[in-house]
Amino acid sequence: MSNFEVIFQDSGTKARRGRLKTAHGEVETPAFMPVGTSGAVKGITPQQIEESGASIILANMYHLLLRPGIETVEKLGGLHKLMGWDKPILTDSGGYQIFSLSSLTKVDDDGVEFASHIDGAKVYLNAEEATKIQNRLGADIIMCLDQCTAFDIEQQQLKRAVERTINWARHAKKAHSNSKQLLFGIVQGGINPEMRTYCASELVKLAFDGYAIGGLSVGEGHNNMINTVSQTAQLLPADSPRYLMGVGMPADIIAAVKAGVDMFDCVLPTRNGRNAFAFTDNGPVRLRNNALIDDCNPIEAGCDCYCCRNFSRGTIRHFFNCGEMLGPILTSIHNLRFFQRLMAKIRKAIEKDKFTDLAKKMVIDY
């Protein structure tokens, strides 16, 4: 029986409203996952994450492998216990770090050697090991090891990375040994339609529990991203969840939902929050702005988050300018809630078959 079902299908677009079942509960889709790279969403308690409306969060296997180490996570009661979160968790496999830490890596057809960004120690990962480590961590959804590349990589190198991604996916599928976990394959191929089609077709043959679209939001621009997403999403099974990795700008999310994507993750809500950048329905608010010095309004009128119910823009500006850690925390709380309100609006619009109207309005607003 499938762990994913499409409940509503928008009549004017490819957008769909679904439900994903995991060992730690159900996820209503389209869904946005806050990122807790090393086991914590920066500056935010699990209770605050839950209050934002999030039902699933993300952690990164590569970073947890370096610190505190898999054995330590197990001794501390497992990943859910470590994170203080009894709802679904997804762990990434380290494929993005092959790209983001490229100066510290050596990649061949068998796997990747990292020089730890912490102390330089050598860490080797292949597809089997990355899968077994995630099996031990116990996340509800785990990812195959893949090779993420720059969007403008030379085509022969791109083809090699795609072949590796497919081969590693085969090894990951064989190594996967925790039946309580869902294993997702990751489609790579840059912005090359032929490579995306080839990669997707080979992964679909392996019958994964879900499929991710990786290797985007790496400088290719909105139009290239959405063209690639639109093409790739339709190559993936209709009865499987589709996850666009690392994409979080509201306009990108709306366009990807329109193309049939179900899941998203990004560090933007908290990273931008720590840098005094707040998301609102009327565009960004930059909270260090002198114009806000005595502004008694909340970050966003009508927002029901703890920050907007209790603090003004002027107060938060003051916290940022005097280095008070409450400023970044409050803005992150608001941003996390903004993204969950966005996803709730999207789900409701799809249910009422009014997503096309909502998408047009949101694209103008954002």
Which pLDDT score, from 0 to 100, does residue 118 have? Answer: 86
329, part of any domain: no
* Look-up of token digits 């700008």: 249
- Say yes or no to pLDDT of 363 above 90: no
Give the residue among 363, 163, 155, 141 at the shortest CA–CA distance from 262: 141
What is the pLDDT at residue 49?
98
DSSP category for residue 340: H
Q: Would you say residue 156 lies in a domain?
A: yes
Cβ–Cβ under 8 Å, residues 24 and 86: yes
Per the prediction, the chain carries an average pLDDT of 96
Looking up tokens 């990943």, which residue turns up?
Answer: 79
Q: Which is catalytic among the residues 10, 92, 209, 252?
A: 92
Q: In angstroms, rounded to a whole number, what is the distance separating the alpha carbons of residues 123 and 159?
A: 25
Owning domain of residue 147 = 4-266
Distances (CA, A) of 171 to 137, 144, 164, 175, 197: 19, 9, 11, 6, 20
Segment 305-324 mean pLDDT? 98
User: Which pLDDT tens digit goes with each residue over 293-305?
Assistant: 999 999 999 999 9
Do the domain assignments include residue 312?
no
User: Is residue 229 situated within a structural domain?
Assistant: yes
Name the pTM for this structure. 0.97
Looking at residue 1, what is its pLDDT?
59
- How many domains is the chain built from? 1
pLDDT tens, position by position, 176-234: 999 999 999 999 999 999 999 999 999 999 999 999 999 999 999 999 999 999 999 99
Determine if residue 25 is left, alpha or beta; phi over 0 gives left, psi from -120 to 50 gives alpha, anything else beta: left
> Which member of 10, 140, 252, 265 is catalytic?
265
Strand partners of residue 264 = 32, 244
Q: Is 265 annotated as catalytic?
A: yes
Is the residue at 340 inside a domain? Answer: no
Give domain status of residue 142, yes or no.
yes
pLDDT at 120: 87
Q: How confident is the model at residue 96 (pLDDT cuts 50, 70, 90)?
A: confident
Q: What CATH number is attached to the domain comprising 95?
A: 3.20.20.105
pLDDT band at 280; cut points 50, 70, 90: very high
pLDDT per residue as tens digits for the range 21-43: 999 999 999 999 999 999 999 99
Instruction: Give the DSSP per-residue string, 82-132.
Output: HHT--S-EEEE-SHHHHHHTGGGEEE-SSEEEEE-TTT--EEEEEHHHHHH
Tokens coding 34: 């806050």
Whether residue 277 is contained in a domain is answered as: no
Tell me, yes or no, whether 276 lies in a domain: no
Under DSSP, the state recorded for 30 is S
